[in-house]
Amino acid sequence: LNAAPERAPRQRVRFLPNPAPRGGGAVELVAASVPVLADHPLVRGPRFRKLKIGAGHRLDVKASGVFVLGIGHGNKLLSDLYNCHLTKVYTVGGLFGKATDDFSDTGNLIEKTTFDHITREKLERILAVIQGTNQKALLMYSNIDMKTQEAYELAVKGLLRPMGKSPPIITAIRCLQFALPEFQLEIHCLHETQQYLRKVVHEIGLELKSSAVCTQVRRTRDGVFTVDDALPRTQWNLQSIQEAIRNCQLKVETELEKTLA
């Protein structure tokens, strides 16, 4: 980063004495714009010695996916993005038939159950119920008086969202793949932790009169940042990072304006 071409040094207007053509006498002052000596690279040293990097929403050790970072002045945007309370999308993989203590497949086994009575239809019914109860929680925690006309209008447009602290809420959930004993869900949620998603998988197993563990949690979208914008491990170099920042800048600005206006 320090090898990149540097900013031009600041210019300052100084009044320099102009050597008078006739020696002696009044010294005239001429205004000239000269570079400030304090900005000289040899005086100042390398531009960047430390970089401040802030992290967006937390991601577990066992989970994977999009992770938003802010660099330098971007850290201020991070807190604004947090206050926007945008939804995150996860792809959660599960396995029927086992129950463990930490709800994932690497924990201590507690119980094994049969699962051949489970059909895709039953799973979708349970998912519809989860969505319905979370829809209610969404309206309740959005802290708007239900009796007003604006509450009705926001509810119609679907913009009613908790804009403060709230327990985890799932706004949408659907089944992507179903092949006994494995299944995959897509979950849109707010204010959640990955362990909460694993707990949801465990509870789905209990509702279906069996048990389930979570095998995979992958975040595919965090607010405006999707998997396409995210840089994989092979691309963690300066050019890609700068390009990615430039691409996302516009999106972030429009989103912040829209929500915090």
Partner 1 sequence: RGFCVPAGPPSTRQLREADEAAPVFQYAGKAAGRKDRVFVWGFSYSGALGIPSFVKPDAGWKKPRRIQPTPYRLETEDKISSAACGYGFTLLASNTRDITKVWGMGLNKDSQLGFQRSRRDQTKGYEYVLEPSPIPLPLEKPQQTRVLQVSCGRAHSLVLTDSEGVFTMGNNSYGQCGRKVVEDEIYSGSHLIHQLKEFDSRVVQVVCGQDHSLFRTKKGSVYACGWGADGQTGLGHYNITSVPTKLHGDIAGVNIIQVSSYGDCCLAVSDEGDVFGWGNSEYLQLASVTETTQVNVPRHLPFRIGKVKEAACGGTGNIVLTEEGNVFVWGYGILGKGPNLIETAEPEMIPPSLFGWSDFSPDTRVAHVRCGLSQFAALTNRGELFVWGKNLRGCLGTGRMEDQYFPWRVTVPGEVVDVACGVDHMVSMVRSFT
Q: How far is the CB of 132 from partner 1 (least distance, A)?
A: 5
Q: Report, in Å, the least distance between residue 174 CB and partner 1.
A: 6
* Residue 13 CB-half CA count within 13 A: 3
Tell the smallest beta-carbon distance from residue 93 to partner 1 (Å).
19
Q: Which CB sits closer to partner 1, 68 or 202?
A: 202
Task: Find out whether the peptide bond into 232 is cis, omega within 30 degrees of 0.
Answer: no
Measured from the CB atom, the residue of 170 and 224 that comes closer to partner 1 is 170
- Among residues 77, 144, 151, 248, the one that binds partner 1 under rule CB under 8 A: 151
Phi first, then psi: what are they for 65, rounded to 5°?
125, -155
Amino acid of residue 172: A
Q: Are 231 and 225 in contact (CB under 8 A)?
A: no
Cα dist. 58→80, 118, 157, 194 in Å?
16, 33, 29, 9
Catalytic residues: 60
Binding mask 159-178 for partner 1 (x = CB under 8 A): -------------x-x----
Q: Smallest gap, in angstroms, from Cβ of residue 229 to partner 1? A: 22
- For the record, the structure tokens of 57 come out as 């929403």
Of 14 and 174, CB closest to partner 1: 174
125 makes contact with partner 1 (CB under 8 A): yes
Residue 144 interacts with partner 1 (CB under 8 A)? no
Q: How remote is the C-alpha of 60 from its chain's centroid?
A: 13
Q: With CA atoms as reference, report the closest residue to 137 among 176, 185, 192.
A: 192
> Please, which of residues 81-110 interact with partner 1 by CB under 8 A?
97, 109
Selected from 113, 166, 184, 259, the binder of partner 1 by CB under 8 A is 113
Task: Using the minimum distance from each CB to partner 1, give the nearer residue, 68 or 118.
Answer: 118
Rounded CA-CA distance 150/74 in Å is: 34
Burial profile 248-260: b = 16 or more Cβ within 10 angstroms, e = fewer: beeebeebbeebe
Residues found near partner 1 in the complex (CB under 8 A): 97, 109, 111-114, 116-117, 122, 125-126, 128-129, 131-133, 135-136, 139, 146-149, 151-153, 155-158, 172, 174, 207-210
